[in-house]
Each structure stands twice: as C-alpha cells, then as structure tokens.
Structure 1
Amino acid sequence: MEQESYREEHFVLEAEGYRLPAALTLPSAQAVKWSVLLLPGSMSNDVDGNYPGTPMRPHMYADLARQLAARGHAVLRYAKYGDGAGAEIVDKQRVGRDGVFARQRYIAETAISRLRELVPQARGLALAGHSEGSVHAMLLAQQPTMGIDALISLSGPALRYMDLFIHKAQEMAKEQGEIIDFGAFKVNAAHYIRVFELLRAGQPFPEEIKADPTMAFFVQNWDPANPQGHEGRQYMRDYDAIDPCQEIARVQCPVLIVQGGMDDSGVHADNGERLYQARHAIDPARTRLAFFPELQHFYKRAASFATPQAAMAMDEETDSRVCDAISAWLHEQID
C-alpha cells in the first residue's frame, strides 16, 4: 500500500497500570469519516498485531488500520502486554486489581476515550474486535455511556471459551478416533475434553488424567489442585462465563460480522454464521455477515491443503476485500 494514502502517529497508551505502544492511523488527503478502535485478541501482540516468540507475524492490525485510513477512516490500535510486545508494567498494584479477562475491557475503555480526544471530528466511533477482542467489544457496545455507533466482529467466537476446544476435539475424534493429532501435539480425546469440563467446574483432575502422558502439560499447568497457574485458570473461567451469541444479541448498534472460511484457530469457520443468526433473529435490518471462504483467522488467503499451523503463520498483506467490506458497511451506517 502506498504510504501517501495514510499517515501514522505513534504514542504510548497508559491504562490499568500498563504503558502500551499505540498507533493512530489517519487518512492523508481526505476528511475523517469514522474512527475505529481495534481490540486485540487473546495472545500478547505488538502494536502491529504480531505475536513475539511465535511463528505468527500476520501484522493484521497494522494492515487493516492502513487500509481503512486509505479509505477515509481513523484507526487506533495498541499492543497487548507480554514478552517482546514492547509494553511495560508501571503500576503492579493496579495491574493486579482486576482479572486478566476483565482487564482487557478496561484498557479498551481508556482507548475509546483517547480516540475520541484524538479524532473529535469523526462522524461515528466503531469498535472492531478481533477474536477474543470481539467479545470485549460486544460487552462495551452494550454500555450506553460508551456511545458506540457500530460494532465489527473480526473472527469472533460464537461458543463459550471451553466449548471452542470441546467442540473442536469432538469433531476431530469423529475422524481420528481415540487419539487426536493437533499437529504440534497429540492427546487422548476423551481426557482432553474432560480437562476443559473440569476447568469450567473448578474441579481437580482425577488420577486417570494425571496418569495419561498425553495430558502432562495440562496437568502441570491447569490442574486446579496446583497453586501455580491460578491466574491463567481464572482467565479461562472468566472468558468461559460469556456466551457470545447471547451478548451479540444484546448490542443496540449496527453489527457487522466478518469471518473467514479457512479459520481453524480455535474459532471455527461456522462461528460467523452462528453469531449472525443469533443477532439477525433480534435485529435483522442492522445485522450483516461478510464471509470470505478462502481466508483464515487473520484474513490471509489459505490453501485448502495447508495445515492449521502453516495457515496461521502466513505473513502476506491482509486481504483488502475485508477492508472494502468494512468501509462500505460503515458508509452505509452514515447514510
């Protein structure tokens, strides 16, 4: 993309005890139409939407921000704390005040206020939440005090957190049998499913799971009987308490759901349709689904034969058709 079509301002967003690298991307040669806040997903990411320490460098947040700015929209994005993300803790007491899951929503609230200050001339403010970020966006959009004018769900889950993993394992077991292969690891399907059911209930793992060598990682890190890992387990339970289909139906502003048909990230390709149906049943006139059959979780074009790991590691520019769909839909909301 030609940089002349946008300009970018980098700064630090201070929220909830963190200093987070942030970027505001603006159109260069036209008036601002909408302001858009990008809410990141579940993993630690840098300001561009890359995941330090992993093979995943999709830079989707930077791509989408620049593409939207070229079409007249102002976009704010920010990093999520973690090793290599460029963020830092400046107030440990404040960071520890809230749980990991809720903390991301409070950070987004601060970002919303900052975006309004930076781009007061925008015709409306939209939340674009990616993956887990879409769940936080749904909850924020329900709050009248936030004044959100539009919601965009980007590869958002339709199932509760634990059910994402349970559903995936059940589908894989139908094809592979007792032992299922995720590529990076193999597990006993029944024990794997039981682990998430026990996590949801907050119950310790039984001896049969502890004795299963394929469950060693989960026992070490997730067994509620172990004192270590408490914060991570609480995060999963807090996330699991949210039913995205129920929450998206409660959103009062217009909703656009964007989903790739090659999404196999834990969020599955049918999640977009599930969210659409839940919301469409309540407010059909202001609900839209933009489905791209050949795109994966970060909206890269994935071959049908690509492994999930290979698909997630794709690093070409985010498909501009996604931006075109978002921009056209936002324009309709102004009309």
Structure 2
Amino acid sequence: MEQPYREEYLVLEAEGYRLPAALTLPQGEAVKWRIILLPGSMANDVDGNYPGTPMKPHLYADLARQLAGRGHAVLRYAKYGAGTGAEMVDEKRVLAHRVFPRQRYIAEAAVRKLREMVPQAKGLAVAGHSEGSVHAVMIAQQSEMGVDAFISLSGPALRYMDLFIHKAQEMAKEQGAIIDFGAFKVNAANYIRAFELMRAGEPFTEDIKADPTMEFFVKSWDSDNPQARESLQYMRDYDAVDPCIEIAKVPCPVLVVQGGRDESGVHADNGERLYQARHAAHPQTTRLAFFPDLQHFYKHVLPGITWQEAMVVDEETDGQVSEVMSAWLDGLSG
C-alpha cells in the first residue's frame, strides 16, 4: 500500500555543473532502500522531461514518488542542456573529461550525495534508464561505490553503433534498399556503412557523400568543426561499451526491466539479451521484468502506433514498474 511522500529540492554539484536534483522520501517512515535514478542520453530536467521536444514523460519524477510511497528514498537529477535548469559553473572542470565518461563521474557524485543525505537504509540501488543503464552497470562493478543492487531500465543490450545497424538491417528486410524512419528516409546500405566507418574512425566514402539521403549524416559527422568532433567522440566512447559483456561482471543482484513496445533505439528484445547474458554468469541473482504493452518510458501504448507517437505519450508511468522494483528490493533486503 502506498504511503505519503515528501520531496526536497537541492543542487548536485559535479564535474563543473550545478544540476537541479530532488530527493523523494517516505513521509515519517524509516527508509528501506536508497535508490539513485541515472538519466538517459538526452538533456532532461529534474522530472525526466526533455525541454524543446514534445517528449514530456516525467518518468523519473513518477518512479521517485511511487517508490517513496513504498518506503524508499530516491534521488534524481537533471542533465545539462537548454531549459533543464542546469548550469555550467567551471568550464575547465567540465572539459577535463569527454562527454560520455563525464556522465559516469556525475552519477558517481550523485551516489555519494545520496549516501550522505540518507545514511541509514537497508541498501543502495543504482537504477539507470536507457544510456544511464550503461553508466550504472559500470558503477555497479566498482566495489568502492558500495552498490548493493543494479536495475536496468530500458537499457541497451547492443553496442551503440549496433543499435542503429541492427534496426536498419531489420527494416531493410521488410522495406528494401530505402528504409523509412518516419521523419526521414535513407539508403540502408549507406546508412549501415556510415556507422561502421564512424566506429572505425574512417572518413565517409564518396558514395555516402554523394547520396542525398545521407546529407544530414555528412553535415553532422564528416566535418572538422569542434561540435562534430565532440559528437563523434561521444558515439565512439558509448560504442566501446558492450552492455552484455559488462552486465555479466556486476557482482550484486540485477533486475532488468523492459517494455515490449520499446522502439526508441533500444528495442524490446534488449531486455531478454541483457537477462540472458547476466543469467548465464549469475543465475540466482538475475531477474527480468517484462511488460508487453509498455514503451521506453513505461507508458501504455496500443499495437500499430508509430514510435514517434509512442514517445510523446505523457500519462503517468505505469505503477507495475515501481511495484516490481520495490518488491524485488524488499526481497533482497529480507
């Protein structure tokens, strides 16, 4: 049964940023677990909305409040970007690390902050959403971070470039040489080859440069401007992590949560892939929670809806997800 909760708003200072954060706590009860929510790849506000886009899923606020209602303390925070409320206060510190690893260091600071703010609890769980799952899986491997449980929320099972390559290969089987993502169409072979070349650090071929469907790719990444170089380095750093290899190394118990209508880049079969990779190494401490009708942010969507339509559903996050998370953690603490 859900209990009242309270929220404390604060600022997380890490890696040269001041990031809006919120600690959600059960009202007047002893804390069961401390849970840190690690955000995904895009710039989000403290609730998990994406300013400047139609996506307002408020996933992180929903999960925090639902979990606090079940007796847990949850810390969530914004990512730097326009409209998120986050500020850069030390550019030199920011530039000390590249974009992708910088997010892990911020997450580590958040873990330490949560432990400081809530010193008494049955355990500490790291729950990473989407790209945040990749950072969380690396943090959970570090004994000095003291992580007692890891939860993957819509986390990728494939390397970053492979998410795009795999999707294009599957679409090409159905659509042929030109594949339609809804917002744009591309030549499948050139699209796949572009990611292979970016992974290898090689320039685009003349065929790719001459392909009008690849104009955005060429302008975005076949360039020597600082923004293009930073973006390409981010993708390569992300791509260097194989989630299925890394999740098998996590020593603490693992829960994989996946929606069956997830087509965000992460796909519905990613949960099963992560589960199987971890289960093969640690069968007794691995669990999969699969929700067939939920999308990337755990909202209900109907069959036939496009992925663009699915991503802008803004109803409350399905309570089954927090219920499973809470019950699983309670079982561990027992």
TM-score bracket, normalised by the shorter chain, equals: over 0.9
Alpha-carbon deviations, 1:187-237, whole Å to 9, x = none?
111111111001001111111111111111100011266665101100000
Alpha-carbon deviations, 1:233-291, whole Å to 9, x = none?
00000000000000000000000000000000000000000000000000000000000
Q: Distance in 2 between matches of 1:194 and 1:109?
A: 35
After superposition, residues 236-247 of structure 1 pair within 5 angstroms as 236-247=235-246
Note the C-alpha offset of 1:30: 2.1
User: Normalising by the residue count of structure 2, what TM-score does the alignment of the two structures yield?
Assistant: 0.98
Counterpart residue number, 1:50: 49
- Name the SS for the 2:294 alignment partner: coil
Any gaps of 5 or more consecutive residues in structure 1? none
2:98 is the counterpart of 1:104? no
Q: Distance in 2 between matches of 1:238 and 1:295?
A: 29
Note the C-alpha offset of 1:17: 0.1
Q: Distance in 2 between matches of 1:268 and 1:147?
A: 30
Q: Distance in 1 between matches of 2:168 and 2:228?
A: 23
- 1:104/1:301 CA distance change after superposition, 3 Å: same
Check whether the contact 1:204–1:224 (CA below 8 A) recurs between aligned residues: no
Task: Give the aligned residue type for 2:309.
Answer: A
Counterpart residue number, 2:206: 207
Q: Distance in 1 between matches of 2:138 and 2:150?
A: 10
After superposition, residues 209-228 of structure 1 pair within 5 angstroms as 209-223=208-222, 228=227
2:81 is the counterpart of 1:82? yes
Counterpart residue number, 2:146: 147
Counterpart residue number, 2:233: 234
Counterpart residue number, 1:266: 265
Check whether the contact 1:261–1:291 (CA below 8 A) recurs between aligned residues: yes
Q: Distance in 2 between matches of 1:150 and 1:128?
A: 8
Q: Distance in 1 between matches of 2:29 and 2:294?
A: 30
Task: Give the aligned residue type for 1:51.
Answer: Y
Q: Distance in 2 between matches of 1:286 and 1:328?
A: 14
Task: Give the aligned residue type for 1:81.
Answer: Y
Any gaps of 5 or more consecutive residues in structure 2? none
Counterpart residue number, 2:330: 331
Number of residue pairs the alignment of both structures matches? 334
Note the C-alpha offset of 1:122: 1.1
Counterpart residue number, 1:162: 161
Check whether the contact 1:205–1:224 (CA below 8 A) recurs between aligned residues: no
- Name the SS for the 2:281 alignment partner: coil
Q: Distance in 2 between matches of 1:227 and 1:21?
A: 27
2:9 is the counterpart of 1:10? yes
Task: Give the aligned residue type for 2:63.
Answer: L
- Name the SS for the 2:29 alignment partner: coil
Counterpart residue number, 1:32: 31
Give percent identity, aligned residues only. 74
Counterpart residue number, 2:40: 41
Task: Give the aligned residue type for 1:67.
Answer: Q
User: Normalising by the residue count of structure 1, what TM-score does the alignment of the two structures yield?
Assistant: 0.98
Note the C-alpha offset of 1:29: 3.5
Q: Distance in 1 between matches of 2:79 and 2:188?
A: 32
- Name the SS for the 1:281 alignment partner: helix
Q: Distance in 2 between matches of 1:173 and 1:54?
A: 28
Task: Give the aligned residue type for 1:138.
Answer: V
Task: Give the aligned residue type for 1:157.
Answer: P
Check whether the contact 1:199–1:224 (CA below 8 A) recurs between aligned residues: no
Check whether the contact 1:8–1:24 (CA below 8 A) recurs between aligned residues: yes
